[in-house]
Structure 1
Amino acid sequence: MVAALTAVVLSATACTGADRPESALDWAGCGDGFECAELSVPLDHDSPGGERIKISVIRLPASGDRIGSILVNPGGPGGSGVEYARSARSVLSEAVRARFDVVGFDPRGVGGSSPVRCLSSSDLDAYLALDTSPDSPAEVTALEEGSRRFAAGCQARSGKLLPHVGTADAARDMDLLRAALGDEGLTYLGKSYGTQLGAVYADLFPGRVRALVLDGAVDPSLSPLELNATQAHGFEVALDAFLENCFTAGDCPFDGPVKSAREEIAGLLRKVDQETLANQNGDGRQIGEAWTTLGLITPLYDRQSWPALRRALNEALEGDGTTLLRMADLLIDRREGGTYSNQTEANMAVNCVDGRFPRDSSAFAAAARDAAGDAPLFGPSVMWSSLPCAYWPVGGESRGKVDAPGAAPIMVVGTERDPATPYAWSEALADQLSSGVLVGFDGDGHTAYLTGSSCVDRLVDDYLINLAVPKDGTYCPKIG
Structure 2
Amino acid sequence: MYKFMSGALTCLILTGCGGGDGGGNPFADRRAMAIQSCPANMTCDFMQVPKDYNAPSGETVEVFYGVHKARNPAQRIGALVLNFGGPSAPAVGGAASMAAYDFPPEILDRFDIVGMDPRGAGWSAFADELTTCAVAERNKQGNCDATFQQVAPYIGSNSIVKDLDRLRAHLGDAQLTFLGYSYGTRLGSLYADMFPERVRAIVLDSPMSPTDANNVEIRIGNTAGYEKIAAYRLDYATYPTRKTTYETLASGLFHDEYGQSKNGAFYYRTNDGYTLDFDALSAVMSLTIARESSNYWQNIDYGLKDLLDNDNGFDLYWSLLSADSWSKTVYSSQEDDLRARAHLKAVICTDERMPLTDVEIALSDHDYYDASALYGPLSYWDTADMCQGWSAKRDPIAPVENMASKLGGKQILVIGGQYDPATPYTWTEEMVAALGDSASLITVNNRVDHGFSYKNVSCIDDPTTQYLINPSQEVMDDACEWNPGFFTKGFDSGSRVPHPTDNIIGW
1:457 and 2:467 aligned: no
Q: How does 1:9-158 map to 2 (within 5 A)?
A: 30-64=38-72, 65-88=75-98, 89-113=100-124, 114-115=126-127, 116-117=130-131, 119-121=133-135, 123-124=137-138, 153-158=143-148
The amino acid that maps onto 1:34 is M
Aligned to 1:423: 425
SS at match of 1:36: strand
Alpha-carbon distance change, 301 to 411 in structure 1, aligned in 2, over 3 angstroms: farther
Query: Structure 1 CA distance, aligned partners of 2:41 and 2:420?
Result: 33
Q: How does 1:436-455 map to 2 (within 5 A)?
A: 436-444=439-447, 445-451=449-455, 453-455=457-459
> 1:321-361 deviations in whole A, cap 9, x for unaligned?
666574366578643xx763511111110000111455543
Q: Displacement, 1:303?
A: 1.2
Would you say the 8 A contact 1:29–1:35 is kept in 2? no
Comparing both chains, which one has the higher relative contact order based on Cα–Cα distances under 8 Å and sequence gaps of 6 or more? 2
Q: Please give the TM-score of this superposition, normalised by the length of structure 1.
A: 0.74
Where 2:169 maps in the other structure, the secondary structure is helix
- 3-state DSSP class of the match of 2:231? helix
> What is the match of residue 318 of structure 1?
317
- The amino acid that maps onto 2:398 is R
**Structure 1: which amino acid aligns with 2:161?**
A
2:198 maps to what in 1? 208
Q: Which runs of 5+ in 2 are unaligned?
A: 1-33, 255-261, 269-275, 305-313, 485-507
Q: Which one of 231, 236, 239 corresponds to residue 227 of structure 2?
A: 236
Cα shift at 1:371? 1.3
Change (3 A) 1:441 1:345: same
Supply the distance in 2 between the matched residues of 1:229 and 1:198 (Cα, whole angstroms): 23
Q: What value does the CA root-mean-square deviation take over the aligned residues?
A: 3.8
Q: Separation in 2 of the partners of 1:352 and 1:412?
A: 26
- Secondary structure, counterpart of 2:440 in structure 1: strand
Residues of 2 paired with 1:302 and 1:296: CA distance?
Answer: 13
Q: What residue number does 2:152 align with?
A: 162
Alignment size in residue pairs: 413
For 2:460 and 2:440, how far apart are their aligned partners in 1? 13
CA distance in 1, matches of 2:420, 2:251: 25
How far off is 1:411 after superposition?
0.9
Equivalent residue letter for 1:239: A
Instruction: Check the 8 A contact 2:49/2:63 in 1, yes or no.
Output: yes
Specify whether residues 266 and 292 from structure 1 end up closer, same or farther in structure 2 by C-alpha distance, changes over 3 A only.
closer
Pair 1:328–1:190, CA change in 2 (3 A):
farther
TM-score by length of 2: 0.70
1:365 Cα deviation (Å)? 3.0
Q: CA deviation at 1:168?
A: 1.1
List alignment gaps of at least 5 residues for structure 1.
Answer: 1-25, 127-148, 248-253, 278-286
Measured in 2, the distance between the counterparts of 1:94 and 1:166 equals 35
Secondary structure class of the residue paired with 2:179:
strand
Q: What pairs with 1:177-216 in structure 2 (closer than 5 Å)?
A: 177-216=167-206
Separation in 2, partners of 1:351, 1:177: 23
3-state secondary structure, aligned to 1:342: helix
Q: Is the 8 A contact 1:162 1:349 kept in 2?
A: yes
d(CA) in 2 for partners of 1:429 and 1:333?
33
Q: Deviations along 1:166-225, whole A, 9 cap, x unmatched? A: 111100000001111111211111011110100001111111111100011112212322
Percent identity at matched positions? 27
